[in-house]
Amino acid sequence: KRKRKEKVVDSDGSATDTPETGAGPSLQLMKDIAHEKSLRSFSRLFGLDVKKARIDSFSREDLTHCLSALSKIHEGIIKLEKDAYFNFFTHKFKSIIPLLKDRKMVRSFVDLGEYVHLVVRLWEMMDADAIAARFGNDFENGFNFLSEKYHLKHVTDELDSFWKSDSLRGLHVVSDMQFTIKPREEHNLLKSILVENHLTLYTVRHAASVVSIIRNGFQPFPTETPRLGLGRGLVFYNTILGAFDEYCDKALYGNPREDPDDKTPIYIFQVSVVCGAILELAKVEKQLTNVPPPYHTICQLPNGYINKKDSSHPKPGRYILSDPSQASVVRFAKLDLQ
């Protein structure tokens, strides 16, 4: 077996090889996660039957590469000016196209797979200069043009109905803050979170669809959602990454406790992708209930199920998924967001 190899990330990010794009804390978050070498592979997810896939079958290097690339896609969508979208994707993402081109997704993974596939396909197939010259800053018309030209309408229409389907509501919140995932509905975990409007991971407030995400960008979380443990809509963190409490303000909100007027956008796509992939692949068939912050661990049992276990680890934010019997641990590096 390959030995675990840790890589320390300096506070200025100098130990990483990911080019700085001026994205701020979100890019640092992505760097820290992408270079925490204990992460499992995500890239080949797009070429495997998820029903047959096992976390153990993926390499850490592939995950690091794909996670970094997906994070850049996200950054490009919501951070760059609209007239720079085209050149950004054309010139920056050639290396990830082979990862996503030959995708063989099962139906249960269409939410994440189609989202990434759709984005990549747009920029992979178009004539960037011609589109930019024709539409300029009008990204809405540019998207419609690309969708029609490359026959994406059936994909977007399908996703629209898919997101809105009542059958996707597998995640429910009850009054005592217990989050329950019904057996056999875990396949649609991320979709379920998105469908529940006040719990949407991406917080597209009126239509949690891939199309509106791509067209309109990702919106900030609501400023007040007191019913959630960490507040401000951090349901995924509170449920799966509860130990991130002490980092969330700076990583996601520009530390609003010190500067209430700071309007720093939210960048959590790279985290949600990894967590969603882990949950999807591991087939959550037992209920996950909320473990109060700051510590908890989600363990992959030998039978492939996921269950939660308390962790007394002194450093919060360390564990997402672990298999105690094999000591295979997916970890987040401690973030330095000073």
Tokens, residue 315? 């450093």
Pairing of strands 297-300, 306-309: antiparallel
Q: For 156-183, how does the pLDDT look when each residue is reduced to its tens digit (9 = 90+)?
A: 444 344 334 433 332 222 212 222 323 3
| Domain containing residue 193 | 25-331
10 lies in some domain? no
Please report, as a single letter, which amino acid is at residue 189.
Answer: L
Q: Is residue 1 a part of any domain in this protein?
A: no
The pTM score is 0.17
Task: Give how far Cα 2 sits from Cα of 33, 37, 45, 59, 61, Å.
Answer: 20, 11, 20, 10, 12
Q: Kindly tell me if the per-residue pLDDT of 133 is higher than 50.
A: yes
- Give me the chain's average pLDDT, please: 34
Structural domain contains residue 338: no
Express each pLDDT in 309-318 by its tens digit.
334 433 333 2
Residue 130 half-sphere exposure, CB side, CA atoms within 13 Å? 6
Residue 20 placed within a domain: no
Q: How is residue 226 written in tokens?
A: 């007191």
Top-ranked range on mean pLDDT: pick from 107-116, 142-151, 270-279, 287-296? 142-151
**Number of structural domains, the chain?**
1
Q: Is residue 196 part of a domain?
A: yes
Is 140 among the domain residues? yes
User: C-alpha angle 217/158/271, rounded to 5°?
Assistant: 40
Nearest Cα neighbor of 122 from 157, 71, 156 is 156
The reply to whether 84 falls in a domain is yes
More confident position, 200 or 26 = 26
